[in-house]
Amino acid sequence: MWISPLGLVPRVMFETPHGVYEQEGMSAQGTLLARAPLATPTVFTPIAALRGLTPPALTRNPIETTNHNNLDDSYIVGIRRHGEMTASVSFLPAHGSHDHLTGLQKAWHAGTRDLYQITFPDGTVWEFAAYVTNISPDAPTDDLLSAEVTFRPSGAHTWTPPEP
């Protein structure tokens, strides 16, 4: 283990024909998702009972620029695209961050574009505006009441590195 200013960070050594390399890893435990209405974008409310999170994929469409004078194919990339984000939660229908008065249900019902903030365990913060497009509760017999929530980002994303 290597001890960084942020705590323990596991280091894995692996050998290749080109030399020995280190690989860092970080547990996702402690990742937070919070929401703020765009009208008050500095007041974030954490989404309660977050069990899993798949942040938006960041993509660009490749645009082929190959012409008859090229011996190899060539490309440029198009606009920045942001895929959907999904969150798995222990569904708490009456909790303020999930409910129909101030929570995710309200965001879905009203169709509001709100600001979302993902805070990773190392302190890195990813912010973007998004719409709640789907809330799929699951109520199995003798098991956890849960929901999958889908968010559709719209507009620019910002990344803030952790404070030193």
Task: Give the Cα separation of 118 and 53 in Å (integer).
Answer: 9
Place of tokens 């690989």: 23
**Are 94 and 87 in contact, with CB atoms under 8 Å apart?**
no
Q: What is the pTM of this model?
A: 0.82
Phi then psi for 109, rounded to 5 degrees?
A: -60, -45
- Cβ contacts of residue 12 below 8 Å, gap of 6+? 22, 23, 25
Domains and CATH numbers, the chain: 28-160 (2.30.110.20)
Task: Give the Cα separation of 141 and 38 in Å (integer).
Answer: 38
User: Which one, of 145, 157, 82, lies nearest residue 116 by Cα?
Assistant: 157
**Per-residue pLDDT tens listing for the chain (164 residues):** 344 445 555 555 555 555 565 666 778 899 999 999 988 888 999 999 999 999 999 999 999 999 999 999 999 999 999 999 999 999 999 999 999 999 999 999 999 999 999 999 888 999 999 999 999 999 999 999 999 999 999 999 999 988 77
CA–CA distances in Å: residue 119 to residues 44, 128, 164 = 12, 12, 15
